[in-house]
Chains A and B, each alone.
Chain A
Amino acid sequence: MKKLVLLGNEAIAQGAIDSGLSGAFGYPGTPSTEIIEYIQRSPEAEERKIHKIWSANEKTAMEEALGMSYAGKRVLVTMKHVGLNVAADAFMNSALTGANGGIIVAVADDPSMHSSQNEQDSRVYGKFAMMNILEPSNQQEAYDMQRYGFELSEKFNLPVLLRITTRLSHSRADVVRGELLSENKLSMPKDPNQFMLLPAFARVKYKKLLALQPEYDKVSEESPFNNFTDGKDKSVGIIACGLAYNYLMENYQDNECLHPILKISHYPIPRKMVEKITSECDSILVLEEGMPLIEEMLKGYLGNPLNIKGRLDGTVPRDGELNPTIVRKALGLGQFKSNPIPEIVEKRPPALCRGCPHIDSYKALNTSLEKYGKGHVFSDIGCYTLGFLPPYNAISTCVDMGASITMAVGAASAGLFPSVAVIGDSTFGHSGLTGLLDAVTHKSNVVIIIVDNDTTAMTGMQDSVVTGMIEDICEGIGVEKEHIRIFNPLPNKHDENVKIIEEEINYNGVSVIIPRRPCIHVIGKNKKAGGKK
């Protein structure tokens, strides 16, 4: 079969399509977004009517996937690492219900926080939920792990977590396709109570999950993705996980590595292999992308007598992503000669585009709030977060999706006036609705500004689920109609927009203001396929 050149994310998508996928559910988030975007563009997916519409958020996506699995079909769930926090309730409990049709939960972590608020390591969640975790080291493995993952999921009737990180998500390489599998037939769970977690059932299911653990160990011991390569020099043994394995091997392109190497891409960690390498070697270097998960397990609470090097002892930096240079240093190999960045080079942070509608919303807001001083605006996550930067300096907070409205409610309850929230349309659909309901039921004195640019801009122009419905939603939730105001954020409308904001600040209750103008990259451009029209 012809080779394809695919991003890691695209390899996951193609692998899933080729392995009998019936549906993909997810919410955009860098670095995971291209998985579903690829499925949305795929003619095969279109022809087979694979489900591929974005969900409102990661939790709804995970639950929809559970429903598809209940009906016996293979399903993929995608999200970025912090999305798993949103989906965590469904995710954790899915370890107890298990799967009927195979479930792969593909989560993309972002160490070094290229586009994220934190760098949490999803493997910790996988361990927490006691699931099998697959961590591909390259694009081919990302492809191959779909078939393997679905089979594993159906073998144990449990979801499988697939963890990738930014560099694999967004790096292309050639991938050879495998055999094409057909989709599962619709079939209910054999056990009609499989997805019933009343305590009496849950207790039984939890014991079953615990009893499965020794079997997991066996599977990971025999996994094609874990392997041990012996070496003569036992002064150091190297454990390398996922992508870290590539950075390791990069340093031995021209000369053989003399140290024993254990590559881990399937967890739980293969116990016998770990015992072998630790008993034979004087010290162990652990190379893992993200948090020192394996390193901590090997050290144990008391720091066992093994000589373990890694992120905890400073051999590798405690935070941030790995790269071949860092790994080279950890291996004690000499660095290559090169020149430093000249001092004149300045940072070039991302910024709002020229002509962006958010600019005019912030200008109007700044004028309206001038007399109250700084610190009154709670914001959220999206392009509009860049309004924090000069010259706007318009917002004070960005915590997690949806937190603008709820933090404004909390601050208003504490007596802060004015208390303003700025949230994007997609973020509002993701997790603003419930916060708005709180604002209404708490009768909060807040002004909520929903900046509607007709798209999910920050992650690359996906459809936003609330487009065309925002006013109706707000009214339905209980915001008074006369306090739902819409304006067009344009420079020549500055004064009237300022007046609208001031009026709503002076209203003692919940106001919603919707500045509405499409993102300049949306105008005149057909939006990407897959979403609603």
Chain B
Amino acid sequence: MKKDIILSGVGGQGILSIATIIGYAAVENEMFLKQAEVHGMSQRGGDVQSHLRISDNKIYSDLIAEGKADLIIAVEPMEALRYLPYLCTDGWMITNTKPYINIPNYPDIESVIAKIDEQPKKVSLDADMIAKEIGTVKCMNMVMLGAASPYLDLPVEKLKEGIRTVFGRKGEKIVNMNLEAFDSGRKAAENK
């Protein structure tokens, strides 16, 4: 099995926790992993992405070639579109529809959603809203992980174990909230 995944969003939205949890599940599953992250200037509210690669075989490049990503997981809709050149023609786009507007010239959200809808294979959901219903918009990233989980070919139990590991030191309550976010995201995706 091999999956090349682009994770994208805005600095501070929490894509690295998604990457860490998928990475955890992959390594527990005896797979190879490469995960290129963005540190530095862009983390101040700029666009950020992570190239996450998991495979049963040795992986060479830390970056995914254009046209080779199996999946884009985006926590922000315009940031889903920014990485389209990476997505292979039959790849899946899994995206949050709630825009994060921190630039004056953010495009009209309707036309952003229309572009996303043009994708032949996509799952789009308002993950912010689902997260808020659970308790806090902070667990939006776990809603998105849940929504992407059916497309990862990784055991759900391992992903949940990853959530417990990543949030463990923040206490039981936070862990459970994130697990609930994951389940809700997964359910939302399955109902699409």
A contacts, CB < 8 Å to B = 3, 5, 7, 30-31, 33-34, 114-115, 167-174, 243, 246-247, 249-251, 253, 323-325, 328, 335-342, 344-353, 383, 386, 458-460
Contacts and interface: CB of A to CB of B under 8 A. Distances in A.
Contacts of B37: 7, 170-172
B102 A348 contact: yes
B59 interface: yes
Contacts of A345: 78, 81-82, 107
B87 interface: yes
A34 B39 contact: yes
B62 A168 contact: yes
B87 A172 contact: no
B40 A250 contact: no
A341 B81 contact: yes
Interface of B: 10-11, 23, 27, 32-47, 51, 57, 59-68, 78-79, 81-82, 84-89, 102-103, 105-108, 111-112, 115
Contact of B34 (A114, A173, A340, A344): A173
Contact of B66 (A115, A338, A344, A458): A338
Contact of A249 (B60, B87, B102): B60
A7 B79 CA distance: 24
* CB-based closest 4 A-B pairs: A336-B67, A115-B40, A30-B40, A250-B61
Contacts of B36: 167, 170-172
Contacts of A33: 39
Given A346-B78, A348-B79, 14 more contacts: A3-B27, A5-B33, A30-B40, A170-B38, A170-B39, A172-B36, A247-B63, A249-B61, A336-B66, A336-B68, A338-B66, A338-B87, A339-B85, A347-B103
A169 B84 CA distance: 25
24 contacts: A114-B38, A114-B41, A170-B36, A171-B36, A171-B62, A173-B62, A174-B27, A246-B60, A246-B61, A323-B63, A324-B64, A335-B66, A335-B67, A336-B65, A336-B66, A338-B85, A340-B84, A344-B111, A345-B107, A349-B46, A350-B44, A351-B102, A386-B44, A460-B39
B179 to A, nearest CB: 22
B145 to A, nearest CB: 17
Contact of A352 (B42, B44, B108): B44
Nearest to A80: B40
Contact of B40 (A114, A249, A337, A338): A114
Contacts of A342: 81, 84, 115
A336 B34 CA distance: 21
Contacts of B66: 325, 335-336, 338
A383 B45 CA distance: 12
Contacts of A344: 78, 81, 107-108, 111-112, 115
Contacts of A170: 36-39
B50 to A, nearest CB: 9
A347 B103 CA distance: 9
Nearest to B108: A344
**Interface residue SS majority, chain A:** loop
A5 B27 contact: yes
A453 to B, nearest CB: 13
A172 B47 contact: no
Given A5-B27, A30-B40, A350-B41, A337 B89 contact: yes
B45 A350 contact: yes
A351 B86 contact: no
Nearest to A460: B39
Contact of B33 (A173, A243, A324, A337): A173
Nearest to B85: A338
Given A170-B37, A170-B38, A5 B23 contact: yes
A328 B65 CA distance: 9
Nearest to A391: B104
A338 B81 CA distance: 12
Contacts of B85: 338-341
Contact of B46 (A171, A173, A250, A350): A350
Nearest to B87: A338
A532 B40 CA distance: 23
Contacts of B108: 344
Nearest to A328: B65
A460 B105 CA distance: 28
Contacts of A115: 39-42
Nearest to B44: A350
A346 B103 contact: yes
Nearest to B107: A344
B61 A247 contact: yes
Contacts of B86: 338
Nearest to A390: B104
A254 to B, nearest CB: 10
Contacts of B10: 348
A351 B44 CA distance: 6
Contacts of A337: 67, 88-89
Nearest to A243: B62
B119 to A, nearest CB: 9
A336 B61 contact: no
Contacts of B61: 246-247, 249-250, 323-324
